[in-house]
A = this chain, B = another copy of it.
Amino acid sequence: MINVVGVKQEVPARRSWTKRRDAKAERLTGMKDIASGKVIPTGRIVEALESLIVPGDRVSLEGNNQKQASFLSAALNQVSPEQIYDLHMIMSSISRPEHLDIFEKGIAKKVDFAYAGPQSLRIAQMLEDGKVKMGEIHTYLELYSRLFVDLIPSVALVAADKADNEGNLYTGPNTEETPTLVEATAFRDGIVIAQVNELVDELPRVDIPGSWIDFVCVADKPYELEPLFTRDPRHITDLQILLGMMVIKGIYERHEVQSLNHGIGYNTAAIELLLPTYGEQLGLRGKICKHWASNPHPTLIPAIESGWVESIHCFGGEVGMEDYVRARPDVFFTGKDGSMRSNRTLSQLAGQYAVDLFLGSTLQMDQYGNSSTVTSGRLAGFGGAPNMGHDPRGRRHSTPAWLNMMTSDEPLARGRKLVVQVIETFQTGNTPVIVESLDAIDVGRNAELATTPVMIYGDDVTHVVTEEGIAYLYKTTNMEERREAVAAVAGVTPVGLQHDPKRTDQLRQKGIIAFPEDLGIRRTDAKRSLLAAKSVEELVEWSGGLYNPPAKFRSW
């Protein structure tokens, strides 16, 4: 130890620098009788987990919002809580009942997550009852990045389509977050266990190298996969078509939006299905919506077939779209075997930094444009929306749409990302969507979160679109004007009713508000007949029979 002049220095005891590696080696010894090489027999998975996991471990369990390591989560739910307890779970999505059952049983104690859609009521209740210790709520991308900093896992439980005996993995179209979870764990002497649908001699392609994987186990049934991004055009309303027309004319055309991400919902499905019809009438093909960071939405099929789309990079796959994607390699990312390559981390990155626009919906928006899907009693998490729905201030390259957001000619002025919220002012059941103040404030307080769980902050929102019109929030110059602009399109919600019609006229004249008629759109033209496909059956027809919708979407 170097002697530092004038400074008292404690000489640390000789320490080991291979504690993690040694701990792993020790855990692996118990596996000699259980696994054959890297392969764990299906029936011995619970035993294997009990051998490989120790109390207090940080366990990364793959639960994307689509692909679920469902065999491994079920197995984890069967380990002995006397042997394995107090786990710190990292799950991008809390989707399945056993994701929370393990907390009821004491197997797990603390959770860091990004999304809890299907379990949002139950987790809120469990938090209140003290059955779950909350880590933090993240977006996908920040959760992934913490896996390399201060949430490095001891164990990763992931899912793949196929493995070979060396542990090489084929994830096929549903690569999603698997490589990222594996990389964070494998390169810090953690233990990586992959469930696979089958074990084969030769893989169609290698998505994750075997030297990153410790064990594979053939699942009792294929991993669960949710068709989360499929919307049946049958349910798209005339109102949603009006919203879609306004978006195409008043935002995509006006700002020359060439690359984008669409959140999930009927509003975005409507826009996608209007491109080959209304968009074509406006002569916009080749000018807007060319590059996408999104899942392979079935409702994009007509736009793809009509030559609108140059490229789509996908977060994950979509059930039923496999053959269609395989037949359209000029549009989608595909591997040498012909099947799609997705990558949730890189697609979120693209959705953050590389696209002109994010467009999404919300359950609640306050009078300043702040929005949240966290409403009373529900802790839904954020998923990817806040990551894509903000102005990435680290961006330095420009595009026409980005530059179009500049409202100043100061020398240091810059463009910004377009963040569009499309909402109908009322939900079904007469609940106003635009409110004075977000429910999320109380939910956050009750769950003792450090900050209110806001999905998208109002100062990141550039446009709000309702059935009343478009508020061009990026043109507002202060909070009061922003509030007035939101109120002007808030309809007969309490926020809207307080608005002074004279102010609305002024805002229209300043170009801060546009009504459909200001955009040259007749409300009476907004009809379902404008949709390029009016049903799932018609989507199949557009695809030339290549799209193979899940049973629940088949009505013919």
* Chain A residues close to B by CB (< 8 Å): 2, 4-10, 12, 15-21, 112, 136-139, 141-146, 148-150, 152, 168, 180, 183, 186-189, 205-211, 258-259, 276-278, 280-281, 290-291, 293, 302, 305-307, 311, 313, 327-331, 333-336, 341, 343, 345-347, 349-350, 352-355, 370, 382, 386-398, 403, 411-415, 437-438, 441, 450-454, 457, 460, 529-533, 538, 541-542
Contact = CB atoms under 8 A, between A and B. Distances in A.
B141 A349 contact: yes
Contact of A529 (B4, B9, B291, B454): B4
A187 B352 contact: no
Nearest to A368: B412
A350 B148 contact: yes
Given A150-B290, A188-B329, A386-B396, 5 more contacts: A4-B532, A9-B276, A12-B307, A17-B327, A187-B334
Contact of A149 (B21, B148, B311, B460): B311
Contacts of A311: 149-150, 152, 188
Q: Taking each of A2, A9, A391, which has the highest tally of chain B beta carbons within 10 Å of its own beta carbon?
A: A2
A542 B7 CA distance: 16
B2 A452 contact: no
B293 A21 contact: no
A531 B6 CA distance: 11
A290 to B, nearest CB: 8
A138 B2 contact: no
Residue of A20, A352, A541 most packed against chain B (CB within 10 A): A352
Nearest to A388: B394
A396 B10 contact: no
A441 B413 CA distance: 11
B451 A413 contact: yes
A412 B454 contact: yes
Nearest to A304: B17
A345 B411 CA distance: 31
Q: Which 7 A-B pairs have the closest CB atoms?
A: A136-B397, A206-B209, A145-B354, A142-B353, A387-B394, A390-B393, A398-B450
Nearest to A20: B330
A378 to B, nearest CB: 16
Nearest to A442: B411
Contact of A451 (B7, B138, B398): B398
Contact of A395 (B8, B142, B403): B142
A149 B330 contact: no
Contact of A414 (B187, B280, B327, B451): B451
A136 B398 contact: yes
A349 B145 contact: yes
Nearest to A444: B411
A212 to B, nearest CB: 8
24 contacts: A4-B530, A7-B277, A7-B281, A8-B280, A17-B327, A18-B329, A18-B330, A19-B330, A142-B353, A142-B392, A146-B354, A149-B259, A150-B258, A188-B329, A188-B334, A206-B209, A349-B349, A388-B394, A390-B394, A391-B393, A412-B441, A413-B451, A414-B457, A415-B450
Nearest to A273: B4
Given A145-B346, A149-B354, A187-B341, A2 B398 contact: no
Give the most central of A152, A278, A354: most B CB within 10 Å: A354
Nearest to A413: B451
A209 B171 CA distance: 13
Contacts of A18: 329-330
Contacts of A307: 12, 15
A259 B538 contact: no
Contacts of A168: 209
A477 to B, nearest CB: 14
A204 B276 CA distance: 52
Given A6-B529, A138-B397, A441 B411 contact: yes
Contacts of A180: 346
A529 B5 contact: yes
A369 to B, nearest CB: 11
A157 B525 CA distance: 52
Contacts of A350: 145-146, 148-149
B529 A397 contact: no
A431 to B, nearest CB: 21
- Best-buried of A8, A148, A389 by chain B (most CB within 10 Å): A148
B370 A382 contact: no
Given A387-B394, A542-B2, A9 B280 contact: yes
B396 A137 contact: yes
A145 B542 CA distance: 31
B2 A533 contact: yes
A530 B17 contact: no
B144 A349 contact: yes
Contacts of A148: 293, 313, 333, 346-347, 349-350, 354
